Amino acid sequence: MEEPLEMERSPQRRKHAIRIIGALNKMVENQHDPDKVSSEESLVSKAHALKHKVEPVYFKILSGVILEVIAEEFANDFPPETQRAWAKLRGLIYSHVTAAYKEAGWVQQVPNASTPPATLPSSGP
């Protein structure tokens, strides 16, 4: 999918977006239980590595986009200290994702015409 409108109209993409936000919410709600958060992240990461063959850099890109949207939509309720906390969470998520990918024996996929390379630029850590 290349156009945002295509993505919005896709029931499958919409369902996945809801699951992503739900998972983020679950992580925030369980921040007091690092083992639970780590276990959930590991399951999601391994599924994306082994079953879906998703490059780990896309977790970083997507989390950056989510952070930008939250900052835009809730600018008055998203001061710099809150942005820094979310950026830290984003970094922790990516760190856990890459560790789970390594544990799963992830081998970087060779890009082809329909798969963008893993070296896409991303914003921040």
End-to-end CA distance of the chain: 26
Mean pLDDT confidence for 76-105: 88
pTM: 0.69
Rounded to 10 deg, the angle between the 57-73 and 80-103 helix axes is: 160
Q: Tally the domains of the chain.
A: 1
Please state, in angstroms and rounded to a whole number, the distance separating the CA atoms of residues 89 and 114. Answer: 30
Q: Which residue has the higher pLDDT, 99 or 1?
A: 99
- Quickly list H helices, 1-124: 4-9, 11-29, 34-46, 57-73, 80-103
What CATH code is carried by the domain that includes residue 96?
Answer: 1.10.490.10
For residue 112, the cross-strand partners are 115
Is residue 8 a contact partner of residue 14, using CB atoms and an 8 Å limit? yes
pLDDT for position 1: 59
Report yes or no on 88 lying in a domain.
Answer: yes
Report yes or no on 37 lying in a domain.
Answer: yes
Q: What is the pLDDT of residues 7-54, one digit of tens each?
A: 778 898 889 889 888 888 888 898 899 898 888 888 888 888 888 888
Domain span holding position 56 = 12-103
